[in-house]
Amino acid sequence: MWELDEQKYFYLLFAIPALALIFLYNLYWKRKKQHQFGDRELVRKLTPEKSLFKHILKLVVVLLALSCLVVALVNPKIGTKTETVKREGIDIVFAIDVSKSMLCEDIAPSRLEKSRQLVSQLINQFTNDRIGIVAYAGSAFPVLPMTSDYSVAKMFLESMNTDMVSSQGTSLDDAIRMSASYFKDEDKKTSKLLILISDGEDHGEGAGEAVEEAKKAGMKIITIGVGTEKGGPIPIKKNGIVESYKRDSHDEMVRTKLNAAALQAISKNSKGYVSGNNTKEVLNYVKKALDNIDKTQFKSVQFTDFNSQFQWFLGIAFVLLSLDVFLLDKKTKWVRKLNLFNEKG
């Protein structure tokens, strides 16, 4: 297996044929000037040691060296080994509220941005755990299936916004059921944890039933409340500038508040509730919770360790450029013997 690290540098290869054309034009121009200067045969006799073959050979060497330098910049990587790795950890699903109320800025920079920051910081603490991501508002939407690739998880995390779920509101029961579905095809012995992040404004029904179903499936729950009890309005922005605030059917400004009680009820008999307003407090709370959950050995995972190969192409380029220094323009015995361009010597 192989991969290319910086494919954008391949565009530099277009310079190779351009240089070759410049050389050919220069060769044509010199021959034209020689013809104007005098008889061609006379010019050749005046410069008997000059070799056209050596000029072309030097060009080929330089172009090959430049090509190797470009490939070195691209940095091809080759999988040199395949290993079987055994990991011990737990399966964690993040259910993140993306309803419009999460745009409220009662906690800087906003509830949604704070939620993404918390999840990113939590992922940084994980080592062998598998994670998945669910987004929810009026309904739940699967964002990322279970994976141990944390860089991919962060990429999907950054793309989350309040427009990704069409139905608005906050349906905590849908979020819990969708998260539980992530574990259905997994080993029943694997420890399962749901980390639900929300402002707690539940506009649906049946959260209690969903919690009971989750417990029967062996899923533990931590809830994180983002927002303040004082709350605030929901800004409507364009190009990052607040144009107005959300209003209801009576043209009254909508104010959204943290409903910690709803979140505490969900995780009451599980792993508990923590305020998301203090990042350090959240990290410590989740770390302690994870330490008290039994780890499970995952199935062996095959992966390929890619090693950079740019140094080989740099070495070849250096050898070719060094060779170019020792290639003289005049004819040598072996060039005379080849006589590729009918160069009499």
Which residues, listed in sequence order, are joined to residue 96 by a DSSP beta bridge?
Answer: 135, 197
pLDDT (average), residues 304-328: 79
Query: What is the 8-class DSSP label of residue 252?
Result: P
Rg, the chain, Cα only: 34
DSSP conformation letters of 210-240? HHHHHHHTTEEEEEEE-S-SS-EE-EEEETT
| Burial letters 169-183, b for 16+ CB under 10 A, else e | bbbbbbbbbbbbebb
Q: pTM to 2 decimals?
A: 0.62
pLDDT at 31 over 80: no
Predicted pLDDT at 308: 78
Predicted pLDDT at 166: 73
pLDDT at 334 over 60: no
Predicted pLDDT at 53: 66
Q: Specify whether the backbone of 339 is left (phi greater than 0), alpha (psi in -120 to 50) or beta.
A: left
Tokens describing residue 335: 């060039």
CA–CA gap between residue 119 and residue 158 (Å, rounded) = 10
Question: Chain-centre distance of CA 44, in angstroms?
Answer: 61
CA–CA gap between residue 28 and residue 3 (Å, rounded) = 42
Cβ(335)–Cβ(73) below 8 Å: no
Which residues, listed in sequence order, are joined to residue 256 by a DSSP beta bridge?
Answer: 232
Q: How confident is the model at residue 154 (pLDDT cuts 50, 70, 90)?
A: very high
Predicted pLDDT at 272: 92
pLDDT (average), residues 245-271: 89
Predicted pLDDT at 330: 57
Predicted pLDDT at 300: 47
Count the Cβ atoms, other than its own, within 10 Å of residue 131: 27
275-287 pLDDT, tens per residue? 999 999 999 999 9
Predicted pLDDT at 345: 45
pLDDT at 196 over 80: yes
Predicted pLDDT at 270: 87
Percentage of the chain surpassing pLDDT 70?
79
45-71 pLDDT, tens per residue? 555 556 666 677 888 888 899 999 999
**Residues 6 or more apart in contact with residue 132 via CB below 8 angstroms:** 91, 92, 93, 94, 142, 144, 145, 146, 147, 179, 182
Predicted pLDDT at 273: 95
Predicted pLDDT at 107: 92
Q: How confident is the model at residue 172 (pLDDT cuts 50, 70, 90)?
A: confident
- Averaged pLDDT score across all residues of the chain: 82
What domains lie within the chain, and their CATH numbers?
Answer: 2-81+305-338 (no CATH), 87-297 (3.40.50.410)
Predicted pLDDT at 109: 92
Q: Please give the single-letter amino acid code of residue 223.
A: T
Helix, strand, coil % in the chain, rounded to nearest 5: 45, 25, 30
Predicted pLDDT at 185: 56
CA–CA gap between residue 306 and residue 312 (Å, rounded) = 15
Higher per-residue confidence, 212 vs 27: 212
Phi and psi (nearest 5°) for 132?
-135, 165
Task: Of 122, 142, 145, give the one whose Cα is nearest residue 134.
Answer: 142
Higher per-residue confidence, 57 vs 235: 235
Which residue matches tokens 């045969």? 41
